[in-house]
């Protein structure tokens, strides 16, 4: 123990580490740290100080090692070398040294840390420590995320009720060390979609590095959303007392609601719906898309959302209704894009849950659900027809099916004669107005896509035009030997590689020329409807005001296959017109101009989606390359 210094002796000492004398420390009372403290003066005690043995100022490891090296060198000069068998292991020496010096084994501040000595990071912290040359879209709070949802997502995928507060400008964080980490599964799922949208300050948003960083951050958020969904369904008893789990009560949520009109137990379901579209549009994973939709359906039925009492109204009624019918839409959509049967009855009349309401009207929702059912029915028809053609066994039942479907489609197309403008930019303060415009456009897209599915085989014999397979369209590899340019109406059986020509089996409906005209009308209508989808209006601050609307992507393109259906028809008709028409024919030139205009609208829509969603880029590239090939 170090000698105790007497402050009355007149000698000067270094200032103490702790400003408390020994008597005050022993009595555990406050000391004023003066040379003779007040407590000792009042009690006529000797006031003495000593250095604390609890640490003291940190000593640079570089100085320690340097001093040890100097001491070791001087000792070697005075003493003979020790035998090798008595040498001390350097790692043991370091450990002993760390225990001798102040800090008792804890790393000193000046010591350079290794990777193992850093504290464990959360997953979102790890993304912040990566390359900072690109900026990923993040938000400072759940309120900012919810506001961004109403700007970028709500118009195209309205899983949440209308906003209870005015929509403000988009406020993505420009701070690389944004600390907010969402806890709600729906907040995380929305953040995953928002992370795909290029940050306004990322001037290199098209670089591979920027795309990769957005992709990785979005996938991390999607995984965290699934983890949060699993945590919501976890029971504490399952870990601590499994024998009590079956009889225990469900644990309560320990977080605030993401939306004031959405119950906490609904947030996991809504996250699954968003992630289903994310798996399709961003990752191109149809299996996971269908899995997420299946999980959402299971959760919705478990909460009895499919049989809500229409007479009961409360603050959560609209949220519950939207949750169920968006689940219905997502389940059918996952079946449509994968050409499989849906997991539930594809009939809204089978469920008693009331329809959601937009500005006091539910008719737009009824039309959208009806169009989804029609395209589902036409998809199942084409799947059955393909199987029959492959077996060379087209029965008369197909004739009656196509007649019935065609009649139902025509009736719905007549009912959906809304006027749609082009490049609509509705102020986001009118979120439900934007929803109505978007749902009307989606309804038209789906109905006309169903019409093409119904008549495409008759008009074009399913001849391939794309190099890769998209949706239910055949690829060149699937139809090896097919002659693309020779597929206008009247093509011989040998040009398609099929068995008996489909036209001979469907002559009861229309001939090939009439089917081609119907497909043309629907393809042009699809291109106009895509053009009419509203664009997001971020209402950004001055910092981001330079960004044009064309650089802000629409989101949630779950119906992108409809764009491929329309482009297929327009490309096939371009090939036909190019092979049979004369360049001097003004009528033919007008027809070609209309076809190219339709293709340009569809390509612009796919270009816009591709700003955020990488799986859609494959569709965009196919359409763009095909357009270049026919010029």
What token pair was written down for 171? 């406020």
Would the pLDDT of 36 be above 60? yes
Residue 622, pLDDT above cutoff 90: yes
Q: Give the tokens for residue 125.
A: 């912290």
Q: How confident is the model at residue 379 (pLDDT cuts 50, 70, 90)?
A: very high
589 membership: H or E segment, kind and range = helix 586-610
**CA max distance for the chain:** 121
Task: Pick left, alpha or beta for residue 582 (phi over 0 → left; psi -120 to 50 → alpha; otherwise beta).
Answer: beta
pLDDT at 201: 85
- Beta-carbon-side half-sphere exposure of residue 220 (alpha carbons within 13 Å): 18
pLDDT at residue 90 above 70?
no
Provide, for the chain, the percentages of residues in helix, strand and coil under a 3-state DSSP scheme, each rounded to the nearest 5: 55, 0, 45
pLDDT classification of 394: cutoffs 50, 70, 90: low
Q: Which residue has the higher pLDDT, 115 or 429?
A: 429
Percent of the chain past pLDDT 70, that is, above it, reads: 69
- Least confident range of 114-118, 155-159, 547-551: 114-118
Instruction: Count Cβ atoms within 10 A of the Cβ of residue 310 and give its class: 0-12 exposed, 13-18 middle, 19 or more buried.
Output: exposed
Task: Please give the pLDDT value at position 39.
Answer: 84
**Residue 575 confidence (pLDDT) above 50:** yes
Q: Does residue 207 carry a pLDDT above 80?
A: yes
Q: Where are the domains of the chain?
A: 1-68, 131-240+251-356, 382-630
- Cα 162 to Cα 256, 429, 442, 443, distances in angstroms: 18, 11, 19, 21
What is the 8-class DSSP label of residue 114? P
Structure tokens at 101: 């010096």
Q: Is the pLDDT of residue 583 over 50?
A: yes
pLDDT grade for 509, boundaries at 50, 70 and 90: very low
Encoded tokens for 557: 């393109």
* pLDDT given at position 69: 55
Segment holding 267, helix H or strand E? helix 267-281
Higher pLDDT, 230 or 15: 230
- Could you write out the three-class secondary structure of 7-75? HHHCCCCCCCCCCCCHHHHHHCCCCCCCCCCHHHHHHCCCCEECCCCCCCCCCCHHHHHHHHHHHHHHH
Beta bridge partners of 466: 475
pLDDT at site 288:
97
129, with CB counted inside 10 A (0-12, 13-18, 19+), is: exposed
Give the mean pLDDT of 319-323: 98
Question: Is the pLDDT score of 334 beyond 60?
Answer: yes
Give the DSSP per-residue string, 368-411: HHHHHHHHHHHHHHHHHHHHHHHTT---THHHHHHHHHHHHHHH
CA distances to 70, 81, 85, 87 from 76, in Å = 10, 7, 17, 13
pLDDT of 397 > 90? The answer is no
Query: For position 108, what pLDDT does the model report?
Result: 33
Distance CA 9, CA 12 (A): 9
Reading the block at residue 398, the tokens are 């197909």
Alpha-carbon distances, residue 121 vs 113, 131, 222 (angstroms): 15, 16, 18
Q: What is the pLDDT of residue 119?
A: 43
State the DSSP string of 147-193: HHHHHHTTTTS--SPPPSS----------TT------SHHHHHHHHH
Q: In 406-427, which positions are buried (b, 16+ CB within 10 angstroms) versus exposed (e)?
A: bebbeebbeebeeebeeebebe
The pLDDT tens digits of the residues spanning 95-131 come to: 444 333 333 333 333 334 444 433 445 555 554 444 4
321 in Cβ contact with 261 (< 8 Å): no
| Range from 179-188, 335-344, 509-518 carrying the lowest mean pLDDT | 509-518
pLDDT at 630: 84
Q: What is the spatial distance between Cα 600 and Cα 177, in angstroms, rounded to a whole number?
A: 41
> 3.20.20.140, 4.10.240.10, 3.30.200.20, 3.40.50.300: which CATH number matches 1-68?
4.10.240.10
Q: Which of 460, 591, 597, 442 is nearest to 519 (CA)?
A: 460
pLDDT tens readout for residues 447-473: 999 999 999 998 998 888 988 888 888
- Non-local CB neighbours of 247 within 8 Å, separated by 6+ positions: none
Three-state SS for 625?
A: helix
pLDDT at residue 10 is higher than 90: no
**CB atoms closer than 10 angstroms to residue 474:** 20
Measure CA 429 to chain center. Answer: 24
pLDDT 10s digits, 40-84: 888 878 888 776 555 545 555 555 555 555 555 555 454 544 444
Least confident of 44-58, 263-277, 322-336: 44-58
Q: Cα–Cα distance between 470 and 567 in angstroms, integer?
A: 12
pLDDT of residue 423: 52
């Amino acid at each position: 123990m170090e000698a105790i210094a007497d402050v009355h002796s007149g000698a000067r000492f270094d200032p103490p580490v702790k400003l408390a004398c020994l008597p005050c420390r022993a009595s555990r009372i406050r000391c004023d740290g003066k040379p003779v403290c007040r407590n000792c003066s009042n009690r006529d005690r000797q006031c003495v100080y000593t250095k604390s043995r609890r640490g003291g100022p940190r000593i640079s490891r570089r100085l320690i090692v340097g001093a040890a090296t100097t001491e070791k060198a001087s000792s070697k000069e005075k003493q003979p070398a020790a035998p090798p068998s008595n040498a001390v292991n350097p790692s043991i020496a370091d450990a002993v040294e760390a225990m001798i010096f102040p800090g008792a084994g804890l790393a000193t501040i000046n010591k350079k840390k290794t990777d193992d000595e850093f504290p464990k990071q959360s997953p979102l912290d790890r993304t912040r420590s990566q390359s900072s040359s690109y900026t990923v879209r993040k938000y400072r709070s759940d309120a900012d995320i919810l506001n961004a949802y109403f700007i970028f997502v709500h118009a195209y995928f309205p899983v949440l009720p209308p906003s209870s507060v005015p929509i403000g400008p988009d406020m993505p964080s420009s701070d690389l060390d944004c600390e907010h980490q969402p806890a709600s599964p729906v907040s995380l799922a929305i953040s995953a979609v928002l992370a795909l949208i290029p940050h306004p300050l990322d001037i290199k948003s098209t670089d591979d590095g920027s795309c990769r960083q957005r992709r990785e951050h979005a996938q991390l958020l999607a995984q965290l959303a699934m983890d949060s969904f699993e945590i919501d369904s976890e029971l504490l008893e399952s870990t601590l007392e499994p024998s009590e789990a079956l009889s225990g009560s469900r644990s309560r949520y320990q977080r605030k609601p993401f939306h004031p009109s959405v119950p906490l137990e609904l947030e996991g379901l809504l996250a699954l719906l968003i992630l289903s579209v994310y798996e399709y549009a961003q990752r191109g994973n149809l299996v996971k898309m269908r899995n997420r939709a299946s999980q959402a359906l299971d959760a919705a039925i478990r909460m009895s959302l499919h049989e809500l009492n229409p007479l009961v109204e409360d603050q959560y009624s609209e949220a519950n209704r939207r949750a169920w019918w968006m689940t219905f839409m997502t389940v059918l959509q996952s079946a449509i894009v994968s050409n499989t049967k849906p997991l539930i009855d594809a009939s809204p009349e089978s469920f008693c849950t009331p329809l959601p309401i937009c500005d006091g009207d539910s008719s737009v929702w009824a039309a959208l659900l009806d169009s989804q059912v029609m395209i589902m029915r036409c998809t199942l028809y084409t799947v059955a027809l393909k199987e029959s053609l492959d077996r060379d066994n087209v029965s008369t039942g197909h004739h009656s099916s196509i007649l019935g479907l065609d009649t139902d489609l025509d009736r719905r197309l007549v009912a959906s004669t809304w006027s749609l403008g082009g490049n609509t930019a509705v102020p986001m303060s009118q979120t439900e107005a934007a929803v109505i415009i978007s749902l009307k456009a989606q309804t038209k897209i789906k109905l006309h896509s169903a019409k093409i599915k119904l008549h495409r085989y008759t008009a074009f014999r399913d001849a391939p035009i794309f190099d890769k397979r998209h949706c239910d369209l055949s690829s060149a590899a699937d139809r090896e030997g097919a002659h693309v340019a020779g597929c206008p109406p009247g093509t011989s059986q040998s040009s398609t590689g099929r068995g008996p020509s489909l036209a001979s089996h469907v002559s009861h409906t229309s001939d090939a020329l009439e089917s081609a005209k119907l497909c043309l009308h629907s393809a042009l209508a699809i291109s106009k409807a895509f053009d009419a989808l509203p664009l997001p209006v971020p209402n950004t601050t001055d910092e981001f005001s330079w960004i044009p609307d064309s650089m802000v992507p629409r989101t949630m393109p779950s119906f992108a296959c409809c764009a491929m259906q329309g482009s297929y028809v327009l490309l096939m008709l371009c090939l036909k017109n190019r092979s049979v028409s004369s360049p001097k024919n003004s009528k033919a030139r007008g027809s070609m101009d209309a076809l190219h205009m339709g293709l340009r609208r569809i390509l612009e829509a796919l270009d816009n989606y591709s700003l955020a969603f990488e799986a859609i880029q494959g569709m965009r590239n196919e359409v763009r390359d095909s357009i270049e090939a026919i010029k």
